[in-house]
Amino acid sequence: MNLVRKLMIVLWAAAVPASGVCGEPADPPAAEPCGGRQMVSRLPADILAQLSDSLERLACKVSPAVVQIEITGFGLADAGDRENAAIIMRRHTTGAGVIVDPDGYIMTNAHLVEGAQRIRVLLSPPGAGSTNESLAGRFRVLDAEIIGFEKQADLALLKVEASNLPALPFNSDHPPQPGQLVFAIGSPSGLRNSVTMGVISSAWRQPDLANPMVYLQTDAPINPGNSGGPLVDVTGAIVGLNTFIVSSAGGSDGLGFAIPARIVDFVYQSLKKDGYVAHIEIGVVAQTIAPAMADGLGLAQNWGVVIADVLPRGPADAAGMKPGDVVLAVDGDRTLSLIGFTAALYQHPSDQVLRVDVLRGAEKLSFRVSGVPVHDRTERLADVPDPMKSRVDRLGILGLDVNDNVRSLLPDMRVSGGVLVLERAWSFDSVETGLKSGDVIHSLNRAPIQSIEQLKSAVAELKRGDSVVLRIERMGQFQYLAFEME
């Protein structure tokens, strides 16, 4: 019996009632309405028809909770080979989102809505299912606001003023497994509520070794426009949020990646409560154990995670952890890799004590660590009301006045006032200055700079060939940047 036939039988068994007396087929299930259309009941023996009906019902159940998102705003374009530069341009993009709360809360990708000036959400009308042709093209359009976003996880929470909306639950209690059947729903190329089917190719994938984020890998076809849409299981629960693909030609090559539901749910709860995601730091440096490391240090196991450093007077130090401790578990969950250790810290609630079980020599120890909550407060600075007014084209930057609110988010600043460089924003008349994102400009040719308007006025007086010296603050240190206007 091949895999496809086994799959059909499993799905058919889940979709039809149990057999009658003496193995005789039970009465066919009653027809169920879907989006105003009466579903056709078929005999249990017709396995393909039952499979088709099951998938139709799933799509009909899930699709109303998936929204199309239209974004108008400013974004980054390819800057060619100019290092640390970005071209800011007006953009109109389309993506997807999923309603996770009937009161209008929608999860999507942060990269879709970053820099947005207006976000519109297209909602399916009540009673609409993916198979209902009579309602095709009809939808509600609502403006959405950003409650918060988390760049590291590439997640954002939107809110629309509506209630009693169809919402999907998170399947965060049962980790997905390779081979599990899943469905991706989104708006590739603006085609609303497109449904594709595939399996989980890997339940634990780290595409970028420098980034601790892990993803679900799926071969369900995902294309541009699917970003922010859900990856659901056969029950219609969210197992992940589609976020990117690896492709040689820009289309689906069967290498799609979704943020696991457990992380999406954690970020959703944090953004809904606080508007940002607070992580904890416990003051340790952890490394993957290699066999040579285990031999040289005399560790009890040659795999897993070892604590390489414990910062003095940090939370782990106060709890009693020491360099050389081998991490066995975090919050009761086994720690098998550095990815798992990092993920456990990422998802741990910032207001709860962390439990870390370690192996020190042959002795098993358990520590309760009060982690320090941290979050990237500068992320909120990227939400510029009107980027065009914040541009200084000849310096090739997008800036922000350093007022009291901004300064409170930059605790390392030594001098009040100035202009914070948010992004390099290259234009045709920009000169290479050496400025980087995060720099604060305090003066231009010894003239104090306190605002964007002041900086623009000073730059406007410069002529081609003039020498320019900027006094900047970079990571708490002052330095000069010298260049000539072109």
Answer whether residue 277 shows pLDDT above 90: no
pLDDT at site 40: 54
Between the CA atoms of 206, 208, 210 and 214, what dihedral angle is there, to the nearest 10 degrees?
-30
Active site residue 111: yes
Query: C-alpha distances in angstroms, 288 versus 206, 236, 316, 320, 432?
Result: 15, 37, 18, 21, 41
Q: Fill in the amino acid letter for 306.
A: V
Q: Pick from 329, 281, 283, 322: which is nearest to 305 by CA?
A: 329
Active site residue 357: no
d(CA 279, CA 122): 33
Q: Fill in the amino acid letter for 403.
A: N
Fill in the DSSP letter of residue 383.
-
The sign of the torsion formed by the CA atoms of 78, 79, 84, 86 equals negative
pLDDT at site 166: 94
Which comes out higher in pLDDT, residue 16 or 292? Answer: 292
User: In the structure, what pLDDT confidence band is assigned to residue 144 with cuts at 50, 70 and 90?
Assistant: very high
Summarize pLDDT for 114-126 with one digit per residue, the tens: 778 789 999 987 6
d(CA 343, CA 211): 11
Q: Pick from 210, 341, 337: which is nearest to 281 by CA?
A: 341
Answer whether residue 76 shows pLDDT above 70: no
What mean pLDDT, rounded, does the chain reach? 80
Answer whether residue 10 shows pLDDT above 70: no
d(CA 337, CA 318): 24
Q: Pick from 361, 359, 405, 397: which is nearest to 381 by CA?
A: 405
Which comes out higher in pLDDT, residue 317 or 44? Answer: 317
Burial of 276 (0-12, 13-18, 19+ CB in 10 A): middle
Q: Fill in the amino acid letter for 251.
A: G
Answer whether residue 171 shows pLDDT above 80: yes
pLDDT at site 131: 46
Complete domains list, the chain, with CATH: 3-56 (no CATH), 57-275 (2.40.10.120), 279-374 (2.30.42.10), 377-484 (2.30.42.10)
pLDDT at site 191: 76
Summarize pLDDT for 447-483 with one digit per residue, the tens: 999 999 999 999 999 999 999 999 999 877 899 999 9
Looking at 130, 187, 194, 227, which residue is catalytic?
Answer: 227
Residues 6+ apart with CB under 8 A from 29: 16, 17, 41
Answer whether residue 168 shows pLDDT above 90: yes
d(CA 370, CA 315): 6
Q: Give me the mean pLDDT over the 239-250 stretch.
A: 77
Tokens of 451: 């605002």
Query: C-alpha distances in angstroms, 366 versus 45, 328, 330, 354, 359?
Result: 57, 10, 10, 10, 9
Summarize pLDDT for 414-431 with one digit per residue, the tens: 888 899 887 777 666 788
Summarize pLDDT for 87-107 with one digit per residue, the tens: 445 667 889 999 999 999 999
User: In the structure, what pLDDT confidence band is assigned to residue 111 with cuts at 50, 70 and 90?
Assistant: confident
% of the chain with per-residue pLDDT over 90: 38
Active site residue 134: no
Burial of 215 (0-12, 13-18, 19+ CB in 10 A): buried
d(CA 386, CA 388): 5
Residues 6+ apart with CB under 8 A from 168: 62, 65, 98, 99, 100, 230, 232, 236, 237, 238
**Alpha-helical runs (H) found in 63-151:** 110-113
Looking at 154, 265, 325, 357, which residue is catalytic?
Answer: 154
User: In the structure, what pLDDT confidence band is assigned to residue 183 with cuts at 50, 70 and 90?
Assistant: very high
d(CA 260, CA 264): 6
Between the CA atoms of 206, 210, 212 and 216, what dihedral angle is there, to the nearest 10 degrees?
-20
Count the neighbouring beta carbons within 10 Å of the beta carbon of residue 34: 20
> Do 171 and 47 form a contact (C-beta atoms < 8 A)?
no
User: In the structure, what pLDDT confidence band is assigned to residue 1 with cuts at 50, 70 and 90?
Assistant: very low
Which comes out higher in pLDDT, residue 188 or 349? Answer: 349
pLDDT at site 90: 60
Summarize pLDDT for 315-347 with one digit per residue, the tens: 999 999 999 999 999 999 999 888 788 888 888
